[in-house]
Amino acid sequence: MKQYLPNPVNELMKASYTGQLSRRDVMKRGGALGLSATVMGTILASHNAAAQDASPEASPAAAQPAGWSIVVPEGLPDLAGATISAMLEPDGPLAAFDQASCDMFAEATGATVNYIMGPPTDRLVVMQQTMAAESSDIDVAMIDVIWPGIFAAHAVDLSDQVGEVEFFERIQENNTVDGMLVGLPYFTDAGLLYYRTDLLEKYGFEGPPTTWQELTDMATTIVEGEAAANTAFTGFTFQGGAYEGLTCNALEWQYSNGGGSIIEPDGTVSMNNDQAKAALELAASWVGTISPEAVTGYMEEDARAVWQGGNAAFMRNWPYAYSLSAASDSVIRDVFAITQLPMGDGEGATHAATLGGWQMFVSRYSENQDAAKAFAKYMVSPELQKARAIERAALPTIGSLYEDEDILAANPYFETLFDVFESGSVARPSTPTADLYGEASLEYFSAVSEILTGSAEVDSRVEDLAASLEDIMADV
């Protein structure tokens, strides 16, 4: 039942992401398809050169138990004869869980559910194209927390599906556009710092770093000490590729240094300031020192592969990496911990975690809206959220689940970081940019990428970026 959108770009993305094709072949095929440099850049950013020789620890999806802890909620409707297609997680460590969720819904309702794996890159573009064509190929989709403004015009209002469930207010508000609930909150996300407890101890550090400068210094010491025995060893791994993940990482660097949130909630472009520039400058200094040069192409799974292979002292990633790092087949399972990300030391410095997360969206072009709505509601139900929290460390969007003993046993840090998860994270500027968020983020991560790779100088590049963001805001 697994299927990708029958689209040559998706196929190429998949081949690149899974390492089925060499970089050269990906470029050749992209050229033949006439893809733009930007699209090719994003596809290549996800290229998994290590796929063929990846250790089993780096991709434990296949090793997951078949049973999962999914409990099917009661009272699902009879949907015999209905067929829906749901675009969910990409191929990777979360796919098996999504497949099981679809299968169990199908079994309980009689509906046929096609699981379409989301493309790992350019998912937004694929969704935009599908919706612009008013295509019924996708009935339900996971949409990113930054997309409600983009897809409001194509959505079915889901306010009548909320029922008794008390979702986090902030996310429900985020997902409401002109009074319409564009997505049901499925799971939330926040950037976290993963660190190696054994290495901190070995080098005499008492605890994880609280500032980015401390992280830089600690990583430098650890890399110096480890490099002789392990040439693959690196200090800090993060999402430095030119894609949405870099927007999330860089927002954390600059916001935590008192450098604002790119475009403020009232629409003011605040990008051009010294604290943001200083934060980007420090990040650029990591590339090729405490981080590998290749980090400028890393997405989540690339960063995790290095970390999970035991080859990094620190990693910035989302909570999903916790369950995988702690899995029984993980080489680092007993020697890591997580905490909040470090902060800067500029004026107004504060810890910052970018708000991430995914929502269930139903397309107004769906020819099976009732089944699609029932599926969306099922996916965000407390039962499914609980299973996903236990199995995949997904952060629930329902407050009471943070008191659930089984969830806390699997994820003890859910308790200590509750405030961050509930309301304390920093939002990307998707509300003020509305349906132009994609353009604004593209401008931002492209500029940051040029700064990281050293092809642009911070001051002038940030000034140009601020000017482009002003232009975008003039069109909102």
CB of 213 to ligand GLC, least distance (A): 26
Pick the closer one to ligand GLC by CB: 108 or 294.
294
Binding mask 230-249 for ligand GLC (x = CB under 6 A): --------------xx--x-
Residue nearest to ligand GLC (CB): 356
Torsion sign, CA atoms 150, 136, 186, 388: negative
Instruction: Determine which residue in the list 98, 144, 422, 450 makes contact with ligand GLC, applying CB under 6 A.
Output: 144
In contact, 376 and 155? CB cutoff 8 Å: no
Spell out where 375-450 has E strands. Answer: none
Who contacts 15 (Cβ-Cβ below 8 Å, separation ≥6)? 21, 25, 26, 29
Stretch that binds ligand GLC, among 3-11, 22-30, 353-361, 377-385 (CB under 6 A): 353-361
Does 252 help bind ligand GLC (rule: CB under 6 A)? no
Beta carbon nearer to ligand GLC, 226 or 244: 244
Assess 149 for contact with ligand GLC (CB under 6 A).
no
Angle, vertex CA 254, rays to CA 250 and CA 256, nearest 5: 115
Cα separation values, 82 from 259, 288, 364, Å: 51, 53, 16
Quote the least distance from Cβ 299 to ligand GLC, whole Å.
7
Decide if 58 contacts 305 (C-beta within 8 A).
yes
Q: Which of 68, 105, 186, 318 binds ligand GLC (CB under 6 A)?
A: 318
98 binds ligand GLC (CB under 6 A): no
Supply the angle between the helices 382-392 and 95-109 in degrees, to the nearest 10.
150
DSSP state of 386: H
**Contact flag: residue 120 with ligand GLC (CB under 6 A):** no
**CA 121 – CA 125 distance, rounded (Å):** 9
- Give residues 359-398 in contact with ligand GLC (rule: CB under 6 A): none
316 alpha carbon, distance to own chain's centre: 11
Whichever of 143 and 332 has its CB closer to ligand GLC, that residue is 143
Q: What is the DSSP letter of 341?
A: P
Give ∠ CA 166-172-175 in degrees, rounded to 5: 155
Tokens coding 8: 């040559």
Is 321 one of the binding residues for ligand GLC (CB under 6 A)? no
Smallest gap from residue 187 Cβ to ligand GLC (A): 8
Nearer to ligand GLC, 189 or 404 (CB): 189
- The span of 99-107, 175-183, 193-201, 351-359 binding ligand GLC (CB under 6 A) equals 351-359
| Among the listed residues 30, 60, 356, 382, the single contact to ligand GLC using CB under 6 A | 356
Size of the site for ligand GLC (CB under 6 A): 11
Q: Which of 58, 104, 138, 145 binds ligand GLC (CB under 6 A)?
A: 145
Segment lying near ligand GLC (by CB under 6 A), choices 75-83, 162-170, 355-363, 455-463: 355-363
d(CA 335, CA 312): 12
d(CA 398, CA 395): 9
Q: How many CB atoms lie within 10 A of CB 400?
A: 10
Rank residues 238 and 358 by Cβ distance to ligand GLC and give the closer one. Answer: 358
145 or 200: CB nearest ligand GLC? 145
- How far is Cα 5 from Cα 307, in angstroms, rounded to an integer? 31
Nearer to ligand GLC, 155 or 458 (CB): 155
* 416-475 binders of ligand GLC (CB under 6 A): none
Beta carbons within 10 angstroms of residue 276's beta carbon: 28
CB of 123 to ligand GLC, least distance (A): 9
Stretch that binds ligand GLC, among 41-49, 103-111, 117-125, 352-360 (CB under 6 A): 352-360
Q: Which is nearer to ligand GLC, 85 or 430 (CB)?
A: 430
State which amino acid sits at residue 187: F
How far apart, in whole angstroms, are the C-alpha atoms of residue 234 and residue 101?
Answer: 37
Q: Which is nearer to ligand GLC, 46 or 275 (CB)?
A: 46
> Are 264 and 355 spatial neighbours (Cβ–Cβ below 8 Å)?
no
> Quick one: DSSP state of residue 175?
T
As to burial, measured by CB atoms within 10 angstroms (0-12 exposed, 13-18 middle, 19+ buried), residue 286 is: buried
Nearest by Cα to 74 from 40, 108, 121: 108
Q: Which of 185, 357, 382, 429 is close enough to bind ligand GLC by CB under 6 A?
A: 357
Place of tokens 């005499």: 204
d(CA 328, CA 194): 18
Nearer to ligand GLC, 42 or 216 (CB): 42
Dihedral sign, Cα of residue 441, residue 372, residue 300, residue 170: positive
User: Which region, judged by CB under 6 A, interacts with ligand GLC, from 214-222, 252-260, 356-364, 467-475?
Assistant: 356-364
Query: Least Å distance between CB 298 and ligand GLC?
Result: 11
Contact 155, 183 (CB under 8 A): yes
Map the footprint of ligand GLC across residues 166-205, applying CB under 6 A: 189
Tell me whether residue 46 or residue 381 sits nearer to ligand GLC (CB atom). Answer: 46
List residues binding ligand GLC (CB under 6 A): 144-145, 189, 244-245, 248, 300, 318, 356-358
